[in-house]
Amino acid sequence: MSPILQVTDLDVDFDGRPAVRGVALTLERGEVLGLVGESGSGKSATALAVLGLLPGNAQVRGSVRLDGQELVGASEKQLTRIRGSRVSMVFQDPLSAFTPVYRIGDQIAEAVRAHQDVSREQARQRAVELLDLVGIPEPALRARAFPHEFSGGMRQRAMIAMAMANDPDIILADEPTTALDVTIQAQVLDVLRTAQRETGAALLLVSHDLGVIAGTADRVAVMHEGRVVESGTAVDVFERPQEPYTKRLLAAVPRMDTPRAPQPPTGETVLKVRGLTRTFPLLKGTAFKRRIGSVYAVDGVDLDIRRGETLALVGESGSGKSTTLFELLELAPPEGGSIELFGNDLAGLGKAETKALRRRVQIVFQDPMASLDPRMPVGDIVAEPLRTQGADRATIGRRVPRLLAQVGLDPAHAERYPHEFSGGQRQRVGIARALSVEPELLVLDEPVSALDVSVQAGVLELLQRLKEELGLAYLFVSHDLSVVRNIADRVSVVYLGRTVEAGPVDEVFERPRHPYTQALLSAVPLPDPTRERARQRSRILLAGDPPSPTRRYDGCRFRARCPLRPHLGERERKRCEQEAPVFDGDGAACHFPRVREVV
Amino acid sequence: MTTAVIAEEAPVAAPPAGRATVVLRRFLRNRTALGGAVVLVLLFLLAFVGPYATKWSYSHIDYTALRAAPGADHWWGTNRIGQDVFAQTVRGLQKSLVIGLLVAVLSTGLASLVGACAGYFGGWTDRLLMFLVDLLLVFPSFLIIAIVSPRLNSSGWFALVGLLGLFAWMITARVVRSMTLSLKEREFVRAARYMGVGPFRIIWRHVLPNVASFLIIDATIQVGGAVMSETALSYFGFGVQPPDVSLGTLIADGTSAAVTYPWMFFFAAGLLVVFVLAVNLVGDGLRDALDPTSKGASR
Ligand SMILES: Nc1ncnc2c1ncn2[C@@H]1O[C@H](COP(=O)(O)OP(=O)(O)OP(=O)(O)O)[C@@H](O)[C@H]1O
Ligand code: SF4
Ligand SMILES: [Mg+2]
Interface contact flag, B187 A400, Cβ < 8 Å: no
**What whole-number percentage of chain A has pLDDT above 70?**
98
The strand pairing partners of A304, in sequence order, are A272
Question: Is B238 part of any domain?
Answer: yes
Q: What are the C-alpha distances in Å from A354 to residues A13, A313, A388?
A: 55, 24, 13
Q: Is the CB of A589 under 6 A from ligand 2?
A: no
From B6's Cα to the closest Cα of chain A, the distance in A is 6
CA nearest to B16 within chain A: A414
State residue A234's pLDDT score.
Answer: 92
Q: Is the CB of A558 under 6 A from ligand 2?
A: yes
Residues A508 and A502: beta-carbon distance below 8 Å: yes
Question: Is B119 part of any domain?
Answer: yes
* Ligand 3 geometric centre to CA of B2 (Å): 36
List the domain range (segments joined by +) for residue B111: 42-51+75-290
Residue nearest to atom 6 of ligand 1 (CA): A280
Most confident by average pLDDT, A161-165, A288-292, B8-12: A161-165
Amino acid occupying residue A478: S
Q: Which of B223, A326, B203, B39 is nearest to B47 (CA)?
A: B39
Q: Is the pLDDT of residue B7 over 50?
A: no
Question: Is B34 part of any domain?
Answer: no
Helix ranges restricted to H, A471-563: 481-487, 505-510, 515-523, 529-537
Chains A and B form CB pairs within 8 A to the count of 114
- Order of strands, sheet of A227-233, starting from the edge strand that comes earlier in the sequence: A87-90, A170-174, A202-207, A32-37, A219-224, A227-233
Q: Write out the E strands in A158-289.
A: 170-174, 202-207, 219-224, 227-233, 269-284
Selected for mutation to probe chain A from B24, B186, B187 (highest A CB count within 10 Å) is B187
ipTM (interface pTM): 0.80
Per-residue pLDDT, averaged over A535-561, amounts to 83
Residue B127 near chain A (CB below 8 Å): no
CA distance A152 to A158: 10
Interface contact flag, A358 B195, Cβ < 8 Å: yes
Question: Is B62 part of any domain?
Answer: no
B contacts of A405 (beta carbons < 8 Å) = 6-8, 10
Per-residue pLDDT, averaged over A151-180, amounts to 86
Q: Which of B269, B272, B274, B268 is nearest to B85 (CA)?
A: B268
From B36's Cα to the closest Cα of chain A, the distance in A is 24
- pLDDT tens for residues B118-173? 999 988 999 999 999 998 888 777 777 777 766 766 556 677 788 888 888 899 99
Per-residue pLDDT, averaged over B91-108, amounts to 89
Per-residue pLDDT, averaged over B221-237, amounts to 80
pTM of the complete model: 0.82
CATH superfamily of domain region A5-251: P-loop containing nucleotide triphosphate hydrolases (3.40.50.300)
What is the domain count for chain B? 1
State residue B267's pLDDT score.
Answer: 84
A contacts of B205 (beta carbons < 8 Å) = 373, 376, 384
Domain with CATH 3.40.50.300 in chain A: 5-251, 269-374+431-510
Maximal CA-CA distance, chain A? 80
Question: Is B209 part of any domain?
Answer: yes
Question: Is B194 part of any domain?
Answer: yes
Band (pLDDT 50/70/90 cuts) for residue A585 is: confident
Look at A73 and B40; give whichever has higher pLDDT.
Answer: B40
Q: What is the CATH number of the domain that holds B198?
A: 1.10.3720.10
| Fold entry, domain A269-374+431-510 | Rossmann fold (3.40.50)
Least confident of A191-200, A302-311, A536-545, B28-37: A536-545
Selected for mutation to probe chain B from A329, A384, A444, A446 (highest B CB count within 10 Å) is A384
Band (pLDDT 50/70/90 cuts) for residue A262 is: low
CA nearest to A434 within chain B: B195
Helix ranges restricted to H, A546-596: 570-578
Q: What are the C-alpha distances in Å from B122 to residues A295, A333, A568, B118, B129?
A: 22, 22, 52, 6, 10
Per-residue pLDDT, averaged over A21-41, amounts to 90
Look at A247 and B83; give whichever has higher pLDDT.
Answer: A247
Question: Is B117 part of any domain?
Answer: yes
pLDDT mean across residues, chain A: 87
State residue B8's pLDDT score.
Answer: 40
State residue A285's pLDDT score.
Answer: 63
* Ligand 3 geometric centre to CA of A536 (Å): 28
Q: What are the C-alpha distances in Å from A452 to residues A174, A245, A423, A461, A487?
A: 17, 14, 9, 14, 17
Band (pLDDT 50/70/90 cuts) for residue B1 is: very low
B contacts of A402 (beta carbons < 8 Å) = 9-10, 12
- pLDDT tens for residues B13-61? 567 778 888 899 989 998 999 999 999 999 999 888 888 877 777 777 7
State residue B81's pLDDT score.
Answer: 78
